[in-house]
Amino acid sequence: MADAGSGRAQALRQAALLIASMLPLLPTLRAHAVGDLPVYFEAARGWLSGQTPYAEVRFEYPPYALLVFAPAALVSSSLRDFQLVFGLELLVVDVAIRIALLRAGRERRGLWAYAPFLAYAAVAQLQAFWLYKRFDLIPAGLTLAAVLALSRGAAASAGAALVAGVGTKVYPAVLLPLGLVHSARGTRAGRFVGGAALAAVPLVVLGLLWPMSRAVGFHSARGLQVESLWASVLWLVRDWSGVQWVHAAASYEVQGGPARAVLELAVVVWVVGTAAAVLLSLVRVEERGSGPLAARALLPILALVALGPVFSPQYVLWIATLAALLVEPKRWKLAAAPLAAALLTRITYPAPGYQTGLSPALTVALVVRNVLLAWGLGVLVLSTWRARTVLARPASRE
């Protein structure tokens, strides 16, 4: 009976914490529209009216993203209505993420049981301006679901979640090798592939019907987005570099001076660094629980974000959902820099001068944020490499 009473008390505490964390976010459902909402609304309305995505409807995201926008567009007659309904969709996803983190915390004792939830909630609260207006919560939630499923041995669910994430915003693709290798070590590779294949069927069909290659062309033409590590450093030394803050097709970029040459270097470092991180993430996970696997999963995603020439504020959600799982006694140091960087993002977006160029003080904050991400990546690389050398070391004979 004592255990049952303790369990009910914990459930009540968790419910109260969940409700308290959500209440401050509810007013944002009606407040301030963010620039991407009209893109989502018009694309979904065009498709629902019979136009072909990527051909007659300009669309820069994978097909499953359009399926996410469609329900809200179907019941909305105006952008204002779409903002509310789509925001409610994302609110449901946000609640699911928080519940998943609370459940994951059951692996820990004492206050550490609430640490993953609190870490994520702090990041989400600071990003309230756009949290329910950009769809990155969905692939971030699917990625979290995949890692948690892998840690429980549910390979089929993990494969399906990852491919659904890829079909929504591509980036979870860097975790497919980890998912396959980890499942194979538990003799569940077939289940992982089966779940992934099932989730990929609609994606393949839509790929045959729609000219998705046009979206690839759009992204390949992008320059150095202002919030990336590369652009922030060039802007910090703009008196020397001569770069300009420019409103480009889909974002703000730094252009001019050495920006083009830096972009070419950035792409090489980004591709090579992310590929190396993917390979390093395949190191065997010996310990049980979600934390060890989350550390492996965060590695390629952090490389993708920290080293890339493109960085939007919502990318911090890709990091925060997995970094939150690392907030435990043994691994909190691995999460410290990425989570600190995610929190700092609120200083630089939204911020005064974002449309014309950040001030020197805000630029310093942006560079610090990006350096923290790079530092966090280095800490993860070193930790994973050390784990690899320990596993490769032959057992000593007594």
Complete DSSP assignment for 178-229? HHHHHHHHTT-HHHHHHHHHHHHHHHHHHHHHS-THHHHHHHHT--EETTSH
> If DSSP codes are grouped into helix, strand and coil, which group holds residue 244?
strand
Spatial CA neighbour of 37 closest among 82, 88, 77: 82
Per-residue pLDDT, 66: 94
Residue 350: strand, helix, or coil: coil
> Kind of pairing, strands 244-247 and 252-255?
antiparallel
- CA-nearest of 261, 270, 268 to 229 is 270
Rounded CA-CA distance 328/112 in Å is 6
Please check whether residue 77 is in contact with residue 118, taking contact to mean a CB–CB distance below 8 angstroms: no
Phi/psi for 255 (5° steps) reads -135, 160
Integer CA distances (angstroms), 169 to 173, 194, 195, in order: 9, 21, 18
d(CA 11, CA 18): 10
Report the Cα–Cα distance between both ends of the chain, in Å, rounded: 48
* pTM beyond 0.85, yes or no: yes
CB 192 within 8 A of CB 183: yes
Half-sphere exposure at residue 217, Cβ-oriented, CA atoms within 13 angstroms: 8
Beta carbons of 165 and 145 less than 8 angstroms apart: no
How far is the C-alpha of 140 from the C-alpha of 146, rounded, in Å?
A: 10
Tally the C-alpha atoms within 13 A of residue 319's C-alpha that lie toward its C-beta. 31
Rounded Cα gap, residues 307 and 338, in angstroms:
13
Say which residues have a Cβ less than 8 Å from residue 52's Cβ, sequence separation at least 6.
209, 210, 211
Q: What are phi and psi of 225, to 5 degrees?
A: -70, 140
Strands lying side by side in the sheet with 224-225: 224-225, 252-255, 244-247
Q: How far is CA 113 from CA 12, 46, 103, 125, 135, in A?
A: 14, 46, 9, 20, 28
Tokens standing for 44?
Answer: 């979904």
Amino acid identity of 247?
A: H
Domain ranges of the chain: 223-388
3-class DSSP assignment, residue 361: helix
**pLDDT, mean of each 10-residue run, the chain (398 residues):** 64 90 94 84 94 88 94 94 96 97 84 93 95 96 97 95 96 97 90 97 91 71 92 96 90 94 97 97 84 94 97 95 94 95 94 93 97 97 80 44
Q: Which residues pair with 246 in a beta bridge?
A: 253
pLDDT score for 6: 65
CB neighbourhood size of 283 (10 A): 21
The H helix count followed by the E strand count for the chain is 17, 3
Report the chain's C-alpha Rg in angstroms: 21
